[in-house]
Structure 1
Amino acid sequence: MSSFDLSVITQNIPWLWAGMQLTILLTLLAVAGGIIVGVILALCRLSPWWALSAAAKLYVNLFRSIPLVLAVFWFYFLVPIVTGHPVGPFYSVLIAFVFFEGAYFAEIVRSGIQGVRRGQLSAALSTGLSHVQALRYVVMPQAIRNMYPVLVTRSIIIFQDTSLAFVVGLTDFLTSANIVANREGRPVEIYCFVAVVYFLLCYAAEAGLNLSKRRVAR
């Protein structure tokens, strides 16, 4: 460790930061889009219409049974065929993440909604609220409280999984670090730095989750 050179990290901070910006942007958009798709799928799965529920269940089971990297390749080659023109690797990866993670968020949302006692919905409907209003004002606030920890944990996993973007040529944080390590010939320093960054960000997210759980409990 006497030859450990931190200057290789400081000299390449702008390049590494550019990769981190892509990682953060992809994570935020994937989480937001995945939650939207997940809510829609969860409501479809809970629908009394058999065909709609079966279609949503098939979607969820399909995406949960394949690896994420395969979904990335699917959408990378499929989206240009469907749209008729190239959309670029970033949007292809983003679409893949949104639809893939939507399947996992769907199960989280469905479990959160089903965790609310049925009497809550019946009581809300009896006051004159519509079904949509009852879901929005009575059921969902309680469901979000139940599924919030799992949503945060899944978001951390998405942040870690963004490193798979390199398979279609995107330069995320880990790919940037790999380029720097090969160029400078100092892989130990770079990969130790990457490990520390991932640990600090994920630990901060977990600490924020625990803090919010204590506040909700109070």
Structure 2
Amino acid sequence: MDFKGFEVIWNNLDYLLWGNFPGGIILTLLMSFAAIIFSTILGIFAGIGLTVWRGFLHQLLVVVLGFLRAIPVIMLIFWTYFLLPVLLNVDVPAIATVIFALSLIGGAYIGHSVHAGMVAIAKEQWQAAFSLGLNKKQVIFFIILPQALKMMLPSFVNQWVSLIKDTSLAYIVGVAEFTFIATQINNRSMVYPTEIFLFVIIVYFIICAALDFSVSVLPRLHLLTRRK
């Protein structure tokens, strides 16, 4: 590998960062952040539904979440790109369809994680909370859910990292995210594919490692600060 080849990265750094704005690394970060937020919200409510609902609604939710977990991410992105404009009767940006698809996929996985965490909470805590006069909604949101979320946080991080990596599949609908831009640069140069895609690997590693560090280390630092 010729280290002089890394000049192609430096010469195209601006384009790799934001492409024809929005694009590149910036767009990957924006899509990842949006997908993480929306999928977490959907997952929390799906987990609550799995825990609280009974009968037909419970079975329907199980089927929907199972379907979303079973289909390939790239197919869901493809379907939402063509289906959402038809359902909404408006022109939906490709970026929005990708975020929507990733949010559904992530929400399905997070929903089962939240459900597992809530079920793991001892039944005595439910009973004790009800005995204090709290209603079901108060018990869930103030007693059970905070414990479940803390317990399942490592599972959440795994899914968030997966969502970040899955943004690279947005190329199928022409979204100019980071790997799409890197591929464009590689197609132009046709000389330094190793250097270009090694840079892609490094950037994804930094993004995912930073997320993992933030979630695992910063809360501990906050606790230490409060104790002082």
1:189-210 Cα offsets, whole Å, 9 max, x none, are 2111111112222233334444
Instruction: Tell me the equivalent position of 1:175.
Output: 180
Indicate yes or no: 2:183 matched with 1:150.
Answer: no
Following superposition, the deviation at residue 142 of structure 1 comes to 0.8
Distance 1:122 1:190, change over 3 A: same
Distance 1:151 1:176, change over 3 A: same
1:99-127 Cα offsets, whole Å, 9 max, x none, are 22211111011111111111111111111
Q: What is the correspondence of 1:89-128 to structure 2 with a 5 Å cutoff?
A: 89-128=94-133
1:64-94 Cα offsets, whole Å, 9 max, x none, are 1110011111111111110112212111111
RMSD (Å) for aligned C-alpha atoms: 2.0
- 2 CA distance for matches of 1:90 and 1:54? 32
Indicate yes or no: 2:217 matched with 1:199.
Answer: no
Q: Which 5+ residue runs of structure 2 have no aligned equivalent?
A: 19-23
Indicate yes or no: 2:81 matched with 1:76.
Answer: yes
Indicate yes or no: 2:183 matched with 1:165.
Answer: no
Indicate which of 178, 183, 194 corresponds to 1:188: 194
- 2 CA distance for matches of 1:215 and 1:33? 27
Indicate yes or no: 2:25 matched with 1:20.
Answer: yes
Q: Quick one: which amino acid aligns to residue 193 of structure 1?
A: F
* Percent of residue pairs bearing the same amino acid type: 30
Following superposition, the deviation at residue 6 of structure 1 comes to 2.3
- 2 CA distance for matches of 1:84 and 1:190? 40
Q: Which 5+ residue runs of structure 1 have no aligned equivalent?
A: none
TM-score by length of 1: 0.92
Contact 1:115 1:146 in 2 (8 A): no
Instruction: Tell me the equivalent position of 2:11.
Output: 11
TM-score by length of 2: 0.88
- 1 CA distance for matches of 2:81 and 2:102? 11
Distance 1:191 1:59, change over 3 A: same
Q: Give secondary structure in 1 for the equivalent of 2:5.
A: coil
Instruction: Tell me the equivalent position of 1:86.
Output: 91
Contact 1:4 1:189 in 2 (8 A): no
Instruction: Tell me the equivalent position of 2:21.
Output: none
- 2 CA distance for matches of 1:107 and 1:31? 16
Distance 1:133 1:95, change over 3 A: same
- 1 CA distance for matches of 2:169 and 2:133? 49
Distance 1:216 1:50, change over 3 A: farther
| 4+ runs deviating over 4 angstroms | 212-218
